[in-house]
Amino acid sequence: MTAPLLLAIVVSMIVGVALLAFLLRMGQRQGRARLNAEGFQELEVMVKGRYVPEAVEVRRGIPVRLHFRREEDTPCSEQVLFSDFHTGSRLPAHQTTLVSFIPTRCGDFMFTCAYGMYQGRLVVVEPTRRDLRKVSGSRSQVHGEGLPGLTGNSSSPLGLISGELGADERD
């Protein structure tokens, strides 16, 4: 092999590895909550130096359960705040905390730690017809009042409700 060919191969490999690392990191930046059999959109958000994923996409009008898994004990991450909706939740260290709500309006909304150092985005979009069909099918199978996991009433525009998961509900 000649030196220019060897150099081209090495440079190509470095660029390929850098591109792969970038794409993998981008995959962690945004997550879309998935609809479960109960009719909830669910997603786990890891809290460790930042929120992963940094952006959470949910559908308007469909109940959401965000599982905040705090894997650190730094004071900054003790709370998650949804300031646009005047609400938030305490996040105990090394535990998963459930934050449930029904997004009632579309848009980009920031959520942060108590000091504003950790920042995430809640992206609320219109539901698709497929989403609505799935949810209406799920709700017709639920017995009793309302959907399980969403209890009480809140004056928050998102109807945000939060609480710690019991030991049997954690990963």
Task: Report pLDDT digits (tens) over 116-154.
Answer: 999 999 999 999 998 888 887 766 554 334 444 454 333
- Residue ranges making up the domain that contains 134: 31-166
Report the C-alpha gap between 74 and 92 in whole angstroms: 10
| Tokens 């730094």, residue located | 74
Give CA angle at 20 (19, 23), nearest 5°.
85
In a domain? residue 48: yes
| Tokens 């004990």, residue located | 73
Q: Give the count of domains, the chain.
A: 1
Report the C-alpha gap between 117 and 151 in whole angstroms: 31
In a domain? residue 72: yes
In a domain? residue 10: no
> In a 10 Å sphere around its CB, with 0-12 CB exposed, 13-18 middle and 19+ buried, how is residue 4 labelled?
exposed
CATH of the domain at 50: 2.60.40.420
**pTM of the model as a whole:** 0.67
Task: Report pLDDT digits (tens) over 29-65.
Answer: 789 999 998 999 999 999 999 999 999 999 999 998 9
